[in-house]
């Protein structure tokens, strides 16, 4: 999927990007990965963050919240982890997962750029 490859490459251009994955949260499988390292396995991170998305969707359902998740942010000591579920029929059940180095990232700009990438992505 060239469009997916371009989207992942664009996400890696975000300041502070460590790695990015396009993930199917019904299966936990990463459909595409860019970046990462031997100490940061994006396939494992993608699968683990699937549980985060599922849990949040379940909680929203129990609370009767009918809104869509724009993004989920997890802040660690040295990193930001962003989860952005894709909207629209072609992206249903998928999310972009982006890990950033906290000292190099501009969180507001990263959110803006990830939204732009999502809008351009046609899966």
CATH number of the domain within which 36 lies = 3.30.450.30
CB atoms within 10 A of CB 19: 21
Q: What pLDDT shows up at residue 91?
A: 67
Model confidence pLDDT, tens digit, residues 3-37: 899 999 999 999 999 999 999 999 999 999 999 98
54 contacts: CB under 8 Å, gap ≥ 6: 25
Within-domain flag for 15: yes
Within-domain flag for 23: yes
CB atoms within 10 A of CB 93: 13
- H helices of 13-98, where? 42-63
Q: Among 123, 122, 119, 106, which Cα is nearest to 13's?
A: 106
Number of domains into which the chain is organized: 1
Within-domain flag for 122: no
Q: What pLDDT shows up at residue 121?
A: 85
Residues spanned by the domain of 9: 2-112
Within-domain flag for 120: no
Please list the ranges in the chain whose pLDDT falls under 50.
none
Q: What pLDDT shows up at residue 28?
A: 92
Within-domain flag for 93: yes
């Amino acid at each position: 999927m060239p469009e997916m490859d371009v989207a992942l490459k664009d996400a890696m251009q975000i300041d502070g990007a460590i790695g990015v994955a396009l993930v199917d949260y019904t299966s936990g499988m990463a459909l595409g990965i860019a970046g990462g390292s031997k100490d940061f396995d994006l396939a494992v991170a993608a699968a683990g963050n699937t549980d985060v998305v599922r849990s949040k969707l379940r909680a929203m359902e129990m609370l009767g919240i009918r809104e869509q998740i724009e993004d989920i942010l997890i802040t660690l000591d040295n990193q930001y982890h962003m989860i952005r579920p894709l909207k629209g029929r072609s992206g249903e059940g998928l999310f972009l997962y982006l890990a950033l180095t906290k000292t190099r990232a501009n969180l507001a700009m990263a959110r803006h750029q990830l939204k732009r990438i999502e809008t351009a992505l046609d899966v």
